[in-house]
Amino acid sequence: LPQEFLDAKPIIETIKQAGFEAYFVGGSVRDTLLGLPIHDVDIATSAYPREIKKIFKKTVDTGIQHGTVMVLDHGEGYEITTFRTESTYQDFRRPDHVTFVRSLEEDLKRRDLTINAFAMDETGRVVDMFDGLSDLQNKRLKAVGDAHERFHEDALRMMRTIRFASQLDFKIEEKTFQALGENSALLEKIAVERIHVEWIKLMMGKNPGCGLSAFYETKLYQHCPMFSKYGETFNELSKRKLEIQDEIEAWTLLSYCLKMDGKDLAKLLRAWKSSNETIAQTEKAVAALESIADRRVTRFTLYNAGETGLKTALAVAKQMEITVDEDKLIHDYRTLPIKSKKDLKANGGDLIKEAGIKPGPKMGEILDYLEEEVLFGRVENEKTSLLELAKQRMK
Ligand code: ATP
Ligand code: MG
């Protein structure tokens, strides 16, 4: 058992002593069996939330309407969820309403893929009701029960399936694959924010090609915001070896491959409900990448990109086989006289106090001018020289 499970073992033992069942479930069991590191330990139990709250002194109602109570133990929080079924599905989305049950089997049945439907007891014994172990062995993603029905109940499962294909580098079992193709349009019922999460996980996976080829072949892409005309690009991308570190890199690479201009990119990112911060960072990296690709990098390019923007652009350039002297650009960036306006040795206040310049648009213009002169090494970044130059400019 991994350390995370050993730490949580007393919790399961306490629940059992109170006369209930409790198991480790979900992604952490799957990842343990695969020998991968685990992020969150999920525990499922036959005890109802109010019973859990009686057993443990310190609890927080993190999702009590879904049956989840967090138990605090030695500074750690453990999510304990009552066995449940999700019997009434409406609109192809997971229901808000769940029914608590006492049977582990019922709980495992509502899970999406066989490899996500294990339970493990506190000794490490695995409950495998759907032959998930052989699917793990064969690197296969297979829906629990009837794939068609499962995707009808909750269409997000389709995106989860292809995201796991990418993350784990697994194949999708035939009937499950077929059901993806037949139900892809149901994805439109799902909130964009939730599709977004899966999409980024897919792009950042171990073998994105595996997820992208299914994304293309099952036509899921046609039901994602603003992706419908880019099938060929997804098909091509699926044949490449991609290694993507973060969300900004994913969007930067995509923007480049989809040949988007700045306006299209902002529109796309907004359609995907990205934050303004994500949009701004992606725009910086894309601008740098385009200069790199067109071989017209200047100090301005580097300055505007910032260190992270530049690194993202370089990472994407490498994967797109754009030749670039990476070390030189990083060196050029590091030796820029200033990295932002804040680094100027004279600020607005100094201009007012010591150069007699009045606040207003003219002052902004002068600061921009000083910034450019310092950036290109035409004046030293030193207070008296800057004030002098500002005064000259005013005249
Ligand atoms: P990750 O490693 O990314 O957290 P995960 O499989 O643990 O992957 P979670 O969203 O944390 O994903 O969900 C925990 C478990 O709940 C899953 O392993 C699965 O058994 C079940 N589950 C999650 N989402 C769904 C869904 N949409 N339909 C059915 N079961 C689901
Ligand atoms: Mg999880």
CATH number at residue 226: 1.10.110.30
Rounded to the nearest 10°, the torsion over CA 44, 49, 50, 53 is: 70
Same domain, 83 and 216: no
Of the candidates 34, 43, 101, the residue with the CA atom closest to the CA atom of residue 71: 43
* H-helix or E-strand spanning residue 63: strand 59-63
Q: Measuring from atom 12 of ligand 1, which residue has the nearest CA? A: 27
Mean pLDDT along residues 135-150: 97
Same domain, 266 and 176: no
Binding-site residue numbers for Mg(2+) are 40, 42
Same domain, 6 and 115: yes
What does 258-320 look like in DSSP terms, one character per residue?
TT--HHHHHHHHHHTT--HHHHHHHHHHHHHHHHHHTT---HHHHHHHHHHHHHHHHHHHHHT
- Report CA 193 to chain centroid distance, whole Å: 11
**For residue 6, is it left (φ>0), alpha (ψ between -120 and 50) or beta?**
alpha
Same domain, 64 and 12: yes
CA of 265 to the centre of ligand 1 (A): 31
Characterize 163-173 residue by residue with b for buried, 16 or more Cβ atoms within 10 angstroms of its Cβ, and e for exposed. bbbbbbebbbb
The per-type count for the chain, helices as H runs and strands as E runs, is 19, 11
What's the whole-model pTM score?
A: 0.93
| pLDDT reading at 392 higher than 90 | yes
Same domain, 54 and 187: no
Domain count along the chain: 4
Q: Helix (H, G, I), strand (E, B), or coil: what is residue 172? A: strand
CATH number at residue 381: 1.10.246
The neighbouring-strand residues paired with 99 are: 85
| pLDDT reading at 261 higher than 80 | yes
| pLDDT reading at 92 higher than 80 | no
Domain boundary among 138, 158, 191: 138
Q: Helix (H, G, I), strand (E, B), or coil: what is residue 339? A: coil
| pLDDT in the model for residue 90 | 65
Tokens representing 93 are 């989305």
| pLDDT in the model for residue 394 | 86
Domain boundary among 192, 222, 242: 242
User: What domain range is 350 assigned to?
Assistant: 341-394
Q: Measuring from atom 6 of ligand 1, which residue has the nearest CA? A: 27
Ligand 1-lining residues (CB < 6 angstroms): 26-27, 42, 94, 111-112, 116-117, 154, 156-157, 160
Mean pLDDT along residues 323-334: 96
CA of 197 to the centre of ligand 1 (A): 12
Same domain, 7 and 117: yes
Mean pLDDT along residues 34-42: 94
Per residue in 152-193, pLDDT tens?
A: 999 999 999 999 999 999 999 999 999 999 999 999 999 999
Same domain, 105 and 238: no
Per residue in 231-251, pLDDT tens?
A: 999 999 999 999 999 999 999
Lowest mean pLDDT of 31-35, 261-265, 282-286, 320-324, name the range: 261-265
Which numbered ligand comes closest to the C-alpha of 115?
1
Q: Measuring from atom 15 of ligand 1, which residue has the nearest CA? A: 26
CA distances from 309 to 246, 304, 312, 316, 319 (A): 12, 8, 5, 11, 16
CA of 60 to the centre of ligand 1 (A): 21
* CA distance linking residue 102 with residue 46, whole number of Å: 5
**Quick one: DSSP state of residue 113?**
B
Q: Helix (H, G, I), strand (E, B), or coil: what is residue 68? A: strand
Q: Measuring from atom 27 of ligand 1, which residue has the nearest CA? A: 157
| pLDDT in the model for residue 262 | 83
Same domain, 8 and 122: yes
The residues whose Cβ lies within 5 A of ligand 2, an ion, are 27
Same domain, 109 and 73: yes
Binding-site residue numbers for ATP are 27, 30, 111, 154, 157, 160, 163
Contact 186, 158 (CB under 8 A): yes
* H-helix or E-strand spanning residue 79: strand 76-82
CATH number at residue 132: 3.30.460.10
- The residues, ordered by sequence, that sit 6+ positions from 137 with a Cβ below 8 Å of its Cβ are none
Lowest mean pLDDT of 83-92, 247-256, 291-300, name the range: 83-92
Same domain, 320 and 345: no
Q: What is the mean pLDDT of the chain?
A: 95
Domain boundary among 138, 173, 200: 138
Q: ipTM value of the model?
A: 0.99
Mean pLDDT along residues 78-85: 95
What does 81-95 look like in DSSP terms, one character per residue?
EE-EE----BTTB--
Mean pLDDT along residues 132-139: 98
* H-helix or E-strand spanning residue 147: helix 147-153
CB atoms within 10 A of CB 261: 11
Q: What is the Cβ-side half-sphere exposure of residue 200, based on CA atoms within 13 angstroms?
A: 17
Same domain, 91 and 22: yes
Given the CA of residue 160, which atom of ligand 1 is nearest to it?
27
Binding-site residue numbers for CTP are 27, 30, 111, 154, 157, 160, 163
The neighbouring-strand residues paired with 25 are: 42, 119
Q: Measuring from atom 3 of ligand 1, which residue has the nearest CA? A: 27
Same domain, 174 and 236: yes
CB atoms within 10 A of CB 355: 19
Tell me which of 23, 66, 109, 111 to substitute to probe ligand 1's pocket, judged by most ligand atoms within 8 Å of the beta carbon.
111
CB atoms within 10 A of CB 128: 20
Which numbered ligand comes closest to the C-alpha of 27?
1
Q: pLDDT band at 308, cuts 50/70/90?
A: very high
